Amino acid sequence: MSESHLSTATPGTAPKEPQRFEAQEGAPVPTSPETVGRAPAPWDAAGDPASMNDAQLSARYLLGLSDDAMVYAQRLGEWISRAPQIEEDMALGNVALDLVGQARTLYTRVGELDAEVLPGVQELAEDDLAYFREERQFRNHWLVEQPRGDFAHEMARMLWFAAYQVELYSALVRVDGADEVGVAAARKALKEVDYHRDHAAQWVIRLGDGTEESTRRMAAALATVEPFVRELFTDDPVATEAAARGLGVLPSTLAEPAESFVAGVLRRAGLERPEPGRWNAGGGRTGTHSEQLGYLLAEMQSVARAHPGASW
């Protein structure tokens, strides 16, 4: 067989070894089957969660809560002018604003507790955390980053997320050692997320116990959301350590009351909770996300990154 025309070797000589490059220290790790899911976590500079001091650990615990709120607020903003009625446009917009308010308070506190959450920034502000982190540095759950579906899907997602937030904030305000600003934010947010939960519950009941088409769509929406529910109640390294020190809440302890509330809503709607499938989302709290988050952040962060330092 004749030698390939792509060969760079001189006829009659041995082909050269391919040139290899050694990665420099601190250089980004390329994504490959061996490295995906193993990117450095933001807390690496402070070490393993067990080796952090209380301020560092509280900062990283609150970061997950604020990322959940910020990312879901961005998703809900997509409903403006697309909701089934004008009143619902306003309602979803107000829910999004509530979540933005929660995120702003918590982001500010994260920066006060430990600026090394985002190394290289001298005075860490809320905008730095919202607009100048990469997707692998976000610590939100997969549920809130998933793309917008139909209205039934949004109500199913909101029902589960708000049920989780109600139990989370209710438990956090009772943790004596938790960060005082985080507790104050949770106490204020409780009224908001209770309304979010009730709003979603009323729509799930209305759609589930409505027409044949609305019942079909609501059942399909619950099935679509189900694979993302378990992660809300999965114990991650930061939350586990925070709970052990009396600084936070263990997510697994929230599952029973949240699931009980949702089960009651579904009974009134004449619906059943779908059986869990073979696959469930996970890893959001340690920086592993679906591809959807990258697209969301590209849109959310575009203006701030195009005009860094601008104010208006």
Q: Is 24 helix (H, G, I), strand (E, B) or coil?
A: coil
Output b/e per residue, 78-116; b: 16+ Cβ within 10 A: ebeeebeeeebeebbbebbebbbbbbbbbbbbbbebbbe
Query: What pLDDT, in 10s, does the model give residues 245-257?
Result: 999 999 999 999 9
What region, left, alpha or beta, does residue 175 occupy, with left being phi > 0 and alpha being psi -120 to 50 degrees? beta
CA distance 209 to 215: 6
- Do residues 142 and 228 lie in contact, with contact meaning Cβ atoms separated by under 8 Å? yes
Q: Is it the case that residue 267 has pLDDT exceeding 50?
A: yes
Question: Which pTM does this prediction carry?
Answer: 0.85
Neighbouring residues of 91: CB distance < 8 A, sequence distance ≥ 6: 83, 199
pLDDT at 13: 55
Q: pLDDT by residue (tens digit) across 211-253? A: 999 999 999 999 999 999 999 999 999 999 999 999 999 999 9
Extract the tokens encoding 114: 């430990």
Report residue 252 as tokens.
């697994």
Q: Is the pLDDT of residue 46 over 90?
A: no
pLDDT mean over 160-169 = 98
Residue 6: pLDDT over 80: no
Cα–Cα distance measured from residue 59 to residue 52, given in angstroms and rounded to the nearest whole number? 10
User: What mean pLDDT do residues 284-310 have?
Assistant: 94
Interval 198-209: pLDDT, tens: 999 999 999 999
Q: What is the full DSSP assignment across 126-142?
A: HHHHHHSS-GGG----H
pLDDT of 57 above 50: yes
Q: In sequence order, what E strands does the chain have? A: none
pLDDT band at 116 (very low <50, low <70, confident <90, very high): confident
Q: How many CB atoms lie within 10 A of CB 260?
A: 11
